[in-house]
Amino acid sequence: MSLFRPLLVRSLTMVGVFFVVLLMLVLTLGLTGFSDRILAATIGEQLRAERTALAETIRDPDEMEKVLEKRREELEIFYGLRTPWYYRLPRTALRVLTLDLGEARSLRSFDGSNRVFDIVTERVPNSMLLLTTSFIITAIIGIIGGSYLATRQGSWLDRFVSGFAAVSFAIPTWWIGILFILILSIQLRILPSGGMYSTPPPTEPLPRFFDLVSHALLPVITLVLVSFGPSIYSIRTITLNIAQEDHVKIARAKGLPERRVRLRHILRVAAPPIVTGLLFGLAGSLSGSILVETVFNWQGMGRLYYDALAGTPDENVIVALTFIFTLMYVAIRIVLEVLYVFLDPRVRYTD
Amino acid sequence: MSRASALQVLLRSGPGFGGVSLLCLLIVVALYVLLVFPLDFGESQWSNPIVWVDNPKAVPPTWTNSLRREARPPHRIFEGTEPHTVQMARSGPVHSWRFPLTYASSHPPTFLAVTLADVKYAERPPLVLISLKRPDGKQLRIYRHTVRGPREGESGPFRRYGQTPLRVQLSTDEATVIAVQNFLADEFDLRLDGAQIGGRVDRFLFGVPTGDSEEAFAPLTGDYEIIVQAALREEGDSVGKVRFVVGGAVFGLMGTDSLGRDLARGLLFGVPVALFIGVISALMSTAIGTSLGIASGYLGGRADITIQRISDIVANVPVLPLLIFMLFIVGPSLWMIIFILVIFGWPGLTIQIRSMVLHMRTNQLLEAIQSLGASRRRVMFRHILPQITPYVFAQLIFGAPAAILSEAGLSFLGLGDPSIPTWGQILEAGFRTGGIYLGYWWWIVPPGLCIVLTALTFMLLGLGIEPVVNPRLRRSPP
């Protein structure tokens, strides 16, 4: 019972985020006349298909034009192109929601499908792989390093890490990735410069796995390198504040072993704010991964953004990507929020 | 704390001093750029290929020569307007220009190009001849051009190459190739066909055969002379400008990109742009964040709940995907980027300011002021705002790097404002055209360093200002 309310509030915020983003997508599409253009393109495509079918039966070109014109009118009414965009808003929202965004202009999925849904969804696991791996590594380094630094407050290492954390905020992740490519891949030829597998990819599962690891190494290192400084620093500060509290002194006075004090009396109490801190870091690493994927040609959704923006832009793909990114972000956030509520007993008892 | 002593505290801290000096440097550079560069630099120069046509493409900076064992040829441009000598020949006056060139590199030039502009004649078109005199005394005519004659119905005086100067790339020019072919046959008894020479005339013109094979030429170092002669027909005819380019394999302070653009100029122009983006976005989002935060904390009630819900939601939106989406739909423009950064940039500050104001509301001074009948607006602006100003100021400074980095990231994805070159766009061009895979570090490293340096300036300033803002962090005097 007591667990239910905080969970509800947190989930509702995230659902709010989701709907606000959806609303913004739909409003921007509508207000700028973008959805009109997408619909017109869909209708045009359908008409072209029908023209070839009709050509079998109708020979007279004038007759054909008349039939097609009538058909266009029907289609425009069917898709709602004749009504102002705000009447279509719910339908556009539904289209975005169900990822029914038609076909991509030039991008194809790995097995050749041109449906936006296929193209975008097959990339989700690739992105998740990169994002979660680096997120978990950053979290682990942060927790171990942070709780260690808390015992070395004021040491040169402590000062170095705090300086490093500040500098990290001033460094674009993706540029570090480019530097890695320039030095490690191009000059020294140690690691591959991009992609997920070598060409041709190994077929045996084990070599294939190692191939993937060697390709993932640079992007993951890049993502971790710029985020672990701030992560260690914030966890150190949180732990330090708790280590100075009375209950820790009492635990030590009782003669409990230092290890137990650190784990049960400091880290356990520091866990909830640490999770919150990591949550905020997640938003940053999501953005970071879009650009890092682009740099390393990692076949995830971030790279797809870049490909969809290049040359003749693929509008449908961009709309779908923005939507899926939000969806993914909201989903991860909800999972972590639930975790938070379970971790922090105080949330359960205050309400 | 007075302003003077605040500045003292700021300057005494390491980061503060570093930040202030870097900021001064950036401001000086920005002012220089604003004075020297045209405001429409992006459109009129950076994205105008004609401006860069005589530059070598994708070559490293000149100073890299001092790091190399074998120096690469420098880029040389010779330009003349007034003729160096005027002679009278039977056909008419002959204007000539002589450009001495000391060639010391062990590589041939990358290209040779000649440009003629502002040709004026009364009746019959002039003839332009270009010869190359080599250190070994040999001389050959490498280019010959008769200016286009009068068109039907056109009346004199005739003007040619005014709007669009005549530019000839000698390395691939057919007549030049034939001239070189004859030169090799006469002087070195080498018979090469046009395909063997075309595109590589530079190595034959600036070299001597090594004898290893027909096409093996070693660069000939020494004093060359380029002689441009214009055989005019009448007194008063003139060739306004001649330009001869000996293409180098190094260029300027920062090298060039694959279009021949001088990267030093692009990087310089990026300074005021980055400062502008950082300062404007930070100012606007801080202003919105602060005022909403004060309103939320002080007014309370429904206003508080509304503002808190909205900022909770906006703070949790994944910004980059939405930024990409909106910029893509609305079209890339610098103002749009700033506008969107501001829209998503305020909630963090609002949440913090609100909790500070809530804390302050219980304070007795504020209660006293309110009981004296001060209006809500007066309390907010005269009593709450001054107390949080130092904190807001620090946040303002920390906000700038975030905006600069966001703009760079968006530009890198190809969503930068095409009319205003930024460091992110230079990086994007280097990445998209494959510059990194070819190892063009001078194209990739400096713009990134510029971004880091500018962002770091604000970070250091922020770190230096924190002790001023938060007296608890101030070090006690020794």
pLDDT tens per residue across all 351 residues of chain A = 466 777 787 778 788 888 888 888 888 877 877 777 777 877 887 888 888 877 777 777 788 888 888 888 888 887 777 777 777 777 777 877 877 777 777 788 877 788 888 888 888 888 888 888 998 999 899 988 988 888 888 889 888 888 888 888 889 989 999 999 999 988 888 888 888 888 788 888 888 888 888 899 999 999 999 888 888 988 888 888 888 888 888 888 888 888 888 888 888 888 888 887 777 677 667 777 889 999 999 988 888 888 888 767 777 788 888 888 888 888 877 877 777 777 776 666 544
**Alpha-carbon gap, residue A109 to A165, rounded angstroms:** 39
- Do B330 and B468 have their domain in common? yes
Total number of domains in chain B: 2
> Phi first, then psi: what are they for B27, rounded to 5°?
-65, -40
Among B223, B247, B271, give the residue marking a domain's end.
Answer: B247
- Do B281 and B241 have their domain in common? no
Interface of A with B in 154-173 (CB under 8 A): 166-167, 169-172
Interface of B with A in 193-222 (CB under 8 A): none
Cα–Cα distance list, B35 to A201, B39, B252 (Å): 55, 9, 21
- Do B42 and B72 have their domain in common? no
pLDDT tens across B405-426, in order? 999 999 998 888 888 999 999 9
Residue B465 belongs to domain spanning: 6-47+262-473
**Alpha-carbon gap, residue A83 to A68, rounded angstroms:** 21
The reply to whether residue A295 touches residue B322, judged by beta carbons under 8 angstroms, is no
Count contacts between A and B (CB, < 8 Å): 135
The reply to whether residue A306 touches residue B456, judged by beta carbons under 8 angstroms, is no
The reply to whether residue A305 touches residue B322, judged by beta carbons under 8 angstroms, is no
- Do B152 and B235 have their domain in common? yes
- Do B33 and B106 have their domain in common? no
Interface of B with A in 370-389 (CB under 8 A): none
- Helix (H) / strand (E) element for A209: namely helix A205-243
Question: What letter does residue A263 receive in the DSSP assignment?
Answer: I
Does residue B57 sit within a domain?
no
Fold of A125-313: MetI-like fold (1.10.3720)
Amino acid occupying residue B192? L
Does residue B282 sit within a domain?
yes
- Do B18 and B78 have their domain in common? no
Interface predicted TM-score of the whole assembly (ipTM), two decimals: 0.84
The reply to whether residue A295 touches residue B431, judged by beta carbons under 8 angstroms, is yes
- Do B25 and B90 have their domain in common? no
**Alpha-carbon gap, residue B384 to B366, rounded angstroms:** 8
Domain boundaries, chain A: 3-98, 125-313
- Which residues share a beta bridge with A103? A115
Interface check A305 vs B, CB under 8 A: yes
Closest to A20 (Cβ–Cβ): which among B317, B438, B451?
B317
The reply to whether residue A32 touches residue B320, judged by beta carbons under 8 angstroms, is no
The reply to whether residue A20 touches residue B408, judged by beta carbons under 8 angstroms, is no
pLDDT tens across B345-384, in order? 888 889 888 888 888 877 778 788 888 888 888 888 888 8
The reply to whether residue A283 touches residue B448, judged by beta carbons under 8 angstroms, is no
The reply to whether residue A325 touches residue B451, judged by beta carbons under 8 angstroms, is no
- Do B24 and B170 have their domain in common? no
- Do B176 and B324 have their domain in common? no
pLDDT score recorded for residue B470:
65
Indicate the pTM of the whole model.
0.86
Q: What is the CATH number of the domain that holds B332?
A: 1.10.3720.10
The reply to whether residue B436 touches residue A294, judged by beta carbons under 8 angstroms, is no
Residue in chain B lying closest to A301 (CA): B321
Q: What is the CATH number of the domain that holds B106?
A: 2.60.120
- Do B434 and B294 have their domain in common? yes
- Do B388 and B460 have their domain in common? yes
Does residue B266 sit within a domain?
yes
Interface of A with B in 27-56 (CB under 8 A): 28-29, 32, 34
- Do B295 and B199 have their domain in common? no
Interface of A with B in 172-191 (CB under 8 A): 172, 174-175, 178-179, 181-182, 186-187
Does residue B60 sit within a domain?
no
Does residue B59 sit within a domain?
no
